Structure 1
Amino acid sequence: MKRALILCVALFRLPLLASPIPDFPFVNVTGASDIEVAPDTATITFTVLEYNEDPGEATATVNSSLRAITDEVITLGVEASGLTADDFEKRAIRIQTENNQPLEIKGYEVSREVRIKIEKIENYTAVVQVIMKKENVGSISSYFDTTRREEIELELVGKSCAEAKKKALVLSKGVGVDLGGVFAVSDTDFSSFGGEFGFGYGGGGMLLGGAGRSDAPVFVPATIKLYASVSVLYRLGSEGVAKD
């Protein structure tokens, strides 16, 4: 009866395991931890876009805008190596003709996605203002991060494992058995919550946070949240009893 009860508890708490169920009593627990830290780096992503009846002229305008932005942000302290751009994208803009004739090409939309890595967070606001003042720039978003991410992630994993073990001890004592050793452990993805801000592209102008103008204030968040969680499978019973 006790073994059946233990297996029921284990099955109920096993949403993350894809492998076959072990043939011994076990319990699966998760532990999580997070911390808020001040960001010290940022990556800005945006799209330079131009429409023209002549695709060559549209491409030239995109190149001109990109060169202007590059020159300005470099003067603000951004490293040239921190600027990257994807290949050009070209989309034909078509209109419906009379009498259901084949769609006629009205012009072409040429675009290019660009990313700027800002190593010094104090340069962020000035760089964003340069980008937002350009008429043919849209889809602006920013991702904030910390150079201490790897160090912090290791600390969070340790705390998450400790929390998972506490949960496992409570469950094992609740059913009157010893907590055994670890059979399996896995870590889930790390995430950064509150570290992303989006700027909408509104046809005739730029929108910040759903409202405002291109000269609306931009800011660096005071903190970003780093998060880690682990899933641990413990044996139940006297074999390989875990130490408190």
Structure 2
Amino acid sequence: MLERFAAALLLAAAALPGMAADLPNHPFIHVSASADQYLMPDVGEIDIDLVSLEPDAELALRFINERLEASRALFAQHGVAPEDVFVQDVVRRPRKLDAAPDGQGQPMETRVSLHLTVRDLGQWTPLLRGLLVLKDVESLAVAFNRSDRDKIEAELLAQALAKARLKAQDIARGVGAKLGPATGVSLAPLKNLTQAMGLANDANARIPAGRRNKPHGEMALVQAMRLAQNVDVIYRIGAGK
């Protein structure tokens, strides 16, 4: 199996002249590897919108300000510092979710978006439960992170590169060759190369990052997060073992 795989790689440039610009111009081994880790977060983030459907603009603004003050009091009660609460501008616009009744104009809404960072996750569950019972809150979304994420991702990158090299060494030994130096490294799939060789990764297998719009009951729980690092590496094939 290894011999057939390596032979296909060795003949790739000659077999696919139309893709020469996408393929290395030397005998090569192309490997993918990944490393991941599940761990508990130490930072949480929350996004919410406060909304008023009051048709009178002045009353709606007053209502939003009252909701803002109530929200800030809740945040302070659970240890969220004022500088960790970001409040966007208040906007007034046509309501997108509701159809206007016959013979009436389109309903208006007054909305303000808040983003807060929660650094004491011991307060996460009571804070979320407090938010979930507030009226006129929409678009609630949460995310978790690590304050040492850069360090963890650097360690995962080193692990993924080590796995890639071991995999490439096994392939080289299997075909009686020596593994040469790495000539290309990518943290994302090498799309032109993988497609040309018929080795394209399944995009659905990758876990996307982003905000978590989960059922409200789950949002109130601090949940483990997965950090992962993927690498694609091209190694030159040397002669002999």
TM-score, normalising length from structure 2? 0.76
**Are residue 57 (structure 1) and residue 59 (structure 2) matched?**
yes
Shift, 1:193, TM fit: 7.4
Aligned length: 214
Give yes or no for contact 2:52–2:63 (8 Å, CA) kept in 1: yes
Deviation at 1:30, TM superposition (A): 1.2
Q: Any idea what SS the aligned residue of 1:24 has?
A: coil
How much has 1:87 moved relative to structure 2? 2.6
Choose from 9, 34, 57 the match for 1:6.
Answer: 9
Query: Could you report, residue by residue, the CA deviation over 1:60-89 in whole angstroms, capped at 9, with x for unpaired residues?
Result: 212211121112211321111100122333
Residues 73 and 127 in structure 1, CA contact (< 8 A), matched pair in contact too: yes
Q: How far apart, CA to CA, are the structure 1 residues paired with 2:73 and 2:133?
A: 14
- Contact map agreement 1:182 1:233 (CA 8 A) in 2: yes
Structure (1 or 2) with the greater helix fraction:
2
- RMSD of Structure 2 on Structure 1 (CA): 3.3
Q: Check whether the contact 2:184–2:234 (CA below 8 A) recurs between aligned residues.
A: yes
Whether contact under 8 Å (1:10, 1:27) holds in the other structure is no
Among all aligned residue pairs of Structure 1 and Structure 2, give the percentage whose two residues are the same amino acid.
Answer: 23
Instruction: Report the CA distance shift for 1:35/1:199 in structure 2 as closer, same or farther (over 3 A).
Output: closer
Closer, same or farther in 2 for the Cα pair 1:10/1:62, shift >3 Å?
Answer: farther
Tell me if structure 1 keeps the 8 A contact 2:30–2:232.
Answer: yes
Amino acid at match of 2:65: N
* Structure 2 unmatched ranges of 5 or more: 15-20, 190-205
Query: Structure 2 CA distance, aligned partners of 1:45 and 1:97?
Result: 34
SS in 2 for 1:105: coil
CA displacement at 1:90 relative to structure 2? 2.5
Residue 181 of structure 1 and its aligned partner are, at CA, apart by: 0.2
Q: Could you report, residue by residue, the CA deviation over 1:76-129 in whole angstroms, capped at 9, with x for unpaired residues?
A: 21111100122333222463646xxxxx42431121221110111111112212
Q: In structure 1, what is the Cα distance between the partners aligned to 2:239 and 2:7?
A: 17
Match of 1:218 in 2: 220
Distance verdict in 2 for CA 1:105–1:22, change over 3 Å: same
Distance in 2 between the 1:160 and 1:66 partners?
Answer: 46
* Counterparts in 2 of 1:49 and 1:40: CA distance versus 1, 3 Å: same
Q: Does 1:79 align with 2:94?
A: no
Gap regions ≥5 residues in structure 1: 12-18, 99-103, 201-206, 210-216
What are the equivalent positions in structure 2 for 1:94-173 lying under 5 Å apart?
95=100, 97=102, 104-173=104-173
Which residue of the partner structure matches residue 198 of structure 1?
213
**Matched residue of 1:66: which SS?**
helix
73-82 or 88-97, which moves further after superposition?
88-97
Matched, 1:180 2:191: no
Please state which structure has a larger fraction of its residues in strand: 1
Q: Is the 8 A contact 2:13 2:23 kept in 1?
A: no
For residue 203 of structure 1, what is the aligned residue in structure 2? Answer: none
Distance in 1 (CA, whole Å) between partners of 2:8 and 2:120 is 56
Of the two structures, which has the highest relative contact order with CA contacts closer than 8 Å and spacing of 6 or more?
2
